[in-house]
Amino acid sequence: MKHRSITGTILYTSKKPERLDQPRGIEHFRFTHHTDGKVTLRAHCEIEDPHPTVLRDIVYSLDEHKRPMDCHVRLTVDDRFMGSGWFRFTEDAVECESYGPAIGRLSQRVPLNGLIDGMGTHPVVADGYLLALSDWADGEKRKLRVMLPSPDHRGATPPMISEVNIDVLFLGRETVTVKAGTFPAKHFQFIDDGTAGMGGQHP
């Protein structure tokens, strides 16, 4: 096989004083880098806390220019099927074919009306990859235009086309040590103060 794969696991931990660093979920991911420059991310996410639990499977592909191509989302909330959706991007629109008990069968096509910065698929690894695709200066702050399969900050609603604008701050480069080893890293911060499109929903 000619492709190159990168796999990993991210442990979700609490930063609440009474539960500091205790696990609250887990994310397993695999990047597949193809020789034509295209990339596919597969992510399996389990959010145990806070209630209700969320189980999410994502298959998200980008073209050789690192622009969104397509994405499949399957979602279970509180151990009950929430929905399954497929998204496709063209030069000027995003399309969605989705089904869920609360929404029935849904077909959408939304014009993009300009450039977007990417698709926010909700796995932590996908957020990091989105931010790593462009160059940043230390202390730089940007407002990103992102398409989402759910406007909920945990992605816990039936898959359908949503759009948000969210501020991002690049704090700089640093070295991070985790269970997998020590790595050079870029430190970003999403800023959700209620003014940039997410309504201050992020904890």
Interval 3-25 mean pLDDT: 92
Per residue in 36-77, pLDDT (tens digit) is: 999 999 999 999 988 999 999 999 999 999 999 999 999 999
**Is there a domain that residue 203 lies in?**
no
The answer to the question of residue 91 being in a domain is yes
pLDDT for 16 equals 85
Facing residues of 91 across strands? Answer: none
Say if CB 95 and CB 71 are below 8 A apart: no
Work out the number of other CB atoms within 10 angstroms of the CB of residue 97.
Answer: 15
Residue 122 lies in a domain: yes
Whole-number pLDDT of residue 15: 84
The average pLDDT across 131-160 equals 95
Q: Please report, for the chain, how many H helices and E strands are present, in that order.
A: 1, 12
Does residue 179 form part of some domain? yes
Q: Is residue 201 in a domain?
A: no
Mean pLDDT over 168-191 rounds to: 95
Provide the domain count of the chain. Answer: 1
Residue 167 lies in a domain: yes
DSSP strand pairing (104-111 vs 23-33)? unpaired
Question: Residue 113's domain spans which residues?
Answer: 4-191
Mean pLDDT confidence for 141-153: 95
pLDDT tens by residue, 92-119: 999 999 999 999 999 999 999 999 999 9
Residue 187 clears pLDDT 60, i.e. is over it? yes
DSSP 8-class letter at 19: G
- Inside any domain, residue 114: yes
Answer yes or no: is 199 within a domain.
no
Going by C-alpha positions, the residue among 160, 152, 158, 133 that lies closest to residue 197 is: 152
pLDDT at 194: 63
Query: What is the value of pTM for the model shown?
Result: 0.90
